[in-house]
Structure 1
Amino acid sequence: MSETANPDPDYETALRRAGVRITRPRRIILGILADAGDHPDAMEIFRRAVEVDRGISLSTVYRTMKLLEGIGAIHRHAFEGGPSRFEPAAGEHHDHLIDIDTGDVIEFQSDRIEQLQQEIARSLGYEIVHHRLELYGRRLRKQ
């Protein structure tokens, strides 16, 4: 990410609406999040940020992530056995498959799974208002 990259305007707008000042370090962090194609943890966000500006502190990363989570702009995932990881809250609903050997997080969407969840909830007399599906697996070994 270049120093002049523009962060996702939704992050910045949401923070401004919440009364948060957008400092240069925050703008860099927002740009990193906007460019992230993965689910980085705070240390990875920090690592990427100091490549742009060595003066950014880890506490600034943590505070910024907490602010973004608090206003609903990002989701925090505490995948089993690892640090909290982050992804944008905007976008289509999806689920996650976590590779237990590499820590890779694979996003997927299945209409069959979504339909089955709805059927199960209805049969038990419920309406789903929120859900999160995490599968943990290991690549199959080729025989």
Structure 2
Amino acid sequence: MRQYRDSFETILERLHLSIRKNGLKNSKQREYILKVLYENGGHLSPEEIFTIARKNHKGASLSSIYRILAFLEKEGFVLSIEVDSSGRKYEIAGGLHHDHIICTECGEIIEFYNEALEQLQNEIVKSYEAVLVSHDMRLFVSCKQCLQKRTS
């Protein structure tokens, strides 16, 4: 299972504060969507979240999931990653830093962290006399399984 800096309970506490700050009512759907992403390690599309949500919340709608994800992203609870023209995938914000390898054929997303690569990025930024604020590295590949399918 993916490692997070915060427990799910801590994330929920922050969510409740954010909801009050924005003058909104508590919503079990917001909590449930966060739970789905937290427990599944993220990288889920709104449609995949909807499929999971429908099993436990018959009243869930795809449009409400899109609205909730937009709110959660604006408030810093989730991050989205554009994997291809089919749309975004979402994950919990606040996990340990990682980058992504994305298969352009099957859509598999692999998280990775490479200290040497992180150092190189810092050196490049320093050579431009700048300060790194953030980065998002996505490497688009044909994964091993897709390459094997081509040759079989």
TM-score (norm: length of structure 2): 0.81
Distance of 2:66 and 2:11 partners within structure 1: 15
SS of residue in 1 equivalent to 2:119: helix
Q: Identity of counterpart residues, as a percentage?
A: 31
SS of residue in 2 equivalent to 1:68: helix
Q: Deviations over 1:59-93 (max 9, x none)?
A: 22112111111111111111233311111111211
Aligned partner of 2:107 in structure 1 is: 103
> How far did residue 50 of structure 1 move?
0.2
Q: Deviations over 1:11-63 (max 9, x none)?
A: 42222112243323333223212211240011110110001122111122112
Aligned partner of 1:139 in structure 2 is: 143
Question: 2:38, 2:91 within 8 Å by CA — same for their partners in 1?
Answer: no
Distance of 2:67 and 2:15 partners within structure 1: 12
Q: How does 1:37-56 map to 2 (within 5 A)?
A: 37-56=41-60
CA shift in 2, pair 1:58/1:11, >3 Å: farther
- Match for residue 31 of structure 2 among 27, 31, 55: 27
SS of residue in 2 equivalent to 1:136: strand
Does residue 15 of the first structure (1) align with residue 3 of the second (2)? no
TM-score (norm: length of structure 1): 0.86
- Match for residue 63 of structure 1 among 63, 67, 80: 67
Identify the structure with bigger relative contact order (alpha carbons < 8 Å, sequence gap 6+): 2
Aligned partner of 1:121 in structure 2 is: 125
Runs of at least 5 residues in structure 1 that lack an aligned partner in the other structure: 1-6
- Count of residues in correspondence between the two structures: 137
| Aligned amino acid, residue 15 of structure 2 | L
Q: Deviations over 1:100-136 (max 9, x none)?
A: 1110100000001101111111111111111110000
